[in-house]
A and B are shown apart, each in its own frame.
Chain A
Amino acid sequence: EADIYQTPRYLVIGTGKKITLECSQTMGHDKMYWYQQDPGMELHLIHYSYGVNSTEKGDLSSESTVSRIRTEHFPLTLESARPSHTSQYLCASRDTHTEAFFGQGTRLTVV
C-alpha cells in the first residue's frame, strides 16, 4: 500500500480565504505532483517537483503555489480561494523509472 497522505480529505471554505492542502509521503520519492480533477473528467497537472527546492508549473494554469522544502512534504496553497477553485486535488509521488502512487485526494468546495 502506498504511503502518501493528503489532508484534509474534505474542505468547505468561503471565498477569499487562504488555504493550504497538505501532501506527505514516506517513501523517499524525489518526484511529486499535484493534479486537479473535476468529477468524471481527466486529470490535469498543475504543479510538480523533481526534488527539494525544485518546483514547476504544469499544463493547467493555476492560481495556486507550491513549495518543496523537505523531500516528504509538498503543500499546495491558494492565497485567495474562489468558487472556480472548487474541485478535487490529487497528490502523487514516484521515484525515477517507477510507478506513481496517489493520495486519496482533497475535495475542495469554495462557497
Chain B
Amino acid sequence: QKEVEQDPGPLSVPEGAIVSLNCTYSNSAFQYFMWYRQYSRKGPELLMYTYSSGNKEDGRFTAQVDKSSKYISLFIRDSQPSDSATYLCAMLHNAGNMLTFGGGTRLMVKP
C-alpha cells in the first residue's frame, strides 16, 4: 500500500463549481503538506504549503489538514476552465528530506 493515496480521477465539474481534492496518508510522521498544480507537459507549480492542522486560504484556494484522520484537502472555489490540470499532493516528515507525492488527480472544468 502506498504511503499517500490520491484518487486519479478524472474529476469533471462545470465552471463555477466548488472542487474538493483529497489525499489520505498512512505515515503519522508527516508534518508538512503541499499542493501542486501541473499543466500538461509542464513542471508542477506550488499552490499551497501548510504545516499544522486546520485551514489555510489563498484566493480561491483553501488547504485543509486533519492530522488526526491523516487526511488533507484542497478546495477550489468558483472553478475556472483554466483550473483544468493535474493536482498533486506532497508530504514531508519532520526528520526527513524526502518528499512523498500522491499520484495526482486530473481535474477538468467545463465551460
A and B form one complex: yes
User: Size range of the interface on A?
Assistant: 20 to 34
Task: Check if A34 is an interface residue, CB within 8 A of chain B.
Answer: no
Contact status A104-B43, CB under 8 Å: yes
| Cβ proximity bits A15-52 to B, threshold 8 Å, 1 near / 0 not | 00000000000000001010000011011010010100
CB neighbours (8 Å) of B32 from chain A are 97, 99
Task: Check if A110 is an interface residue, CB within 8 A of chain B.
Answer: no
Q: Which of B1-54 contact A (CB under 8 A)?
A: 32, 34, 36, 40-46, 49
Contact status B34-A100, CB under 8 Å: yes
Q: Work out how many contacts link A and B, with CB atoms closer than 8 A.
A: 49
Closest to B92 in A: A97
CB neighbours (8 Å) of A43 from chain B are 44, 88, 101
A96 to B88, CA, bound (A): 21
Contact status A104-B42, CB under 8 Å: yes
Q: How far is the CB of A97 from chain B (nearest CB, A)?
A: 7
We find that the number of chain B residues with CB closer than 8 angstroms to chain A is 23
Contact status A100-B43, CB under 8 Å: no
Task: Check if A2 is an interface residue, CB within 8 A of chain B.
Answer: yes
Q: Tell which of A42, A48, A99, A105 touches B43, judged by Cβ atoms closer than 8 Å.
A: A105
Among B42, B49, B88, the most chain A Cβ lie within 10 Å of the Cβ of B42
Closest to A45 in B: B98
27 contacts between A and B (CB under 8 A): A2-B46, A39-B40, A40-B86, A42-B101, A42-B103, A43-B101, A50-B97, A90-B44, A94-B99, A96-B97, A97-B92, A97-B94, A98-B49, A99-B34, A99-B46, A100-B90, A100-B99, A101-B46, A102-B36, A102-B43, A102-B45, A102-B46, A104-B42, A105-B41, A105-B42, A105-B43, A107-B41
CB neighbours (8 Å) of B40 from chain A are 39
